[in-house]
Amino acid sequence: MKNLMLLSVAFLISIASFAQPDHKASPHDTVTTKNIKVTYGRPYKKGRDIFGGLEKFGEVWRCGADEATEITFAKDGMFGGKSIKAGSYTLFVKPTATEWTIIINGDPHFWGTQYADHKAKDVLSVTVPVKNLDTVVDQLTIRFAGSNMIIEWDKTQVSIPVSF
């Protein structure tokens, strides 16, 4: 009986060690439409200068926090005026003060910022103009409005046309 009790306690301790909470720096969100799903980390501004500061102009950024942002197309369509096949991809951006290059990469499952290691798998890139906002968007937000995917954070917004 004593051995059974010790085995039970050891089992419960081992289960508890595997059930550690997920300690991501930023909350994560998934936004979906009928044909697109985007899963991304949503960092906060926290008083920082975001574009040109935290996210350097001319450098590729994963468009979120923690894992690279994943975008899934349920069927073939158009993204920024270019053809995209159904499937899962990662989404990167290369921001400047006046425009962003939006990059869709064919490696949908990697963590962090190792874009240079995966550049050979780029599927497409499109350039879109920056819209400067009058009000601050405190938390990185990706949303859909009409036939556009909107990315906004701080006082910056870009809009990418999407159609199916």
Name the pLDDT band for 5 (thresholds 50, 70, 90): low
Lowest mean pLDDT among 34-43, 48-57, 141-150: 48-57
Residue 157 burial (CB < 10 Å; 0-12/13-18/19+)? Answer: middle
Name the pLDDT band for 38 (thresholds 50, 70, 90): very high
Q: Give me the amino acid identity at 76.
A: D
Interval 114-134: pLDDT, tens = 666 677 889 999 999 999 999
Structure tokens at 22: 């997920």
What's the rounded Cα separation, in Å, for the pair 51 and 38? Answer: 21
Quick check: 7 pLDDT over 70? no
Helices marked H in the chain:
2-18
Structure tokens at 130: 């920056």
SS3 121: helix
What's the rounded Cα separation, in Å, for the pair 109 and 126? Answer: 21
- Model confidence, pTM: 0.82
pLDDT at site 12: 43
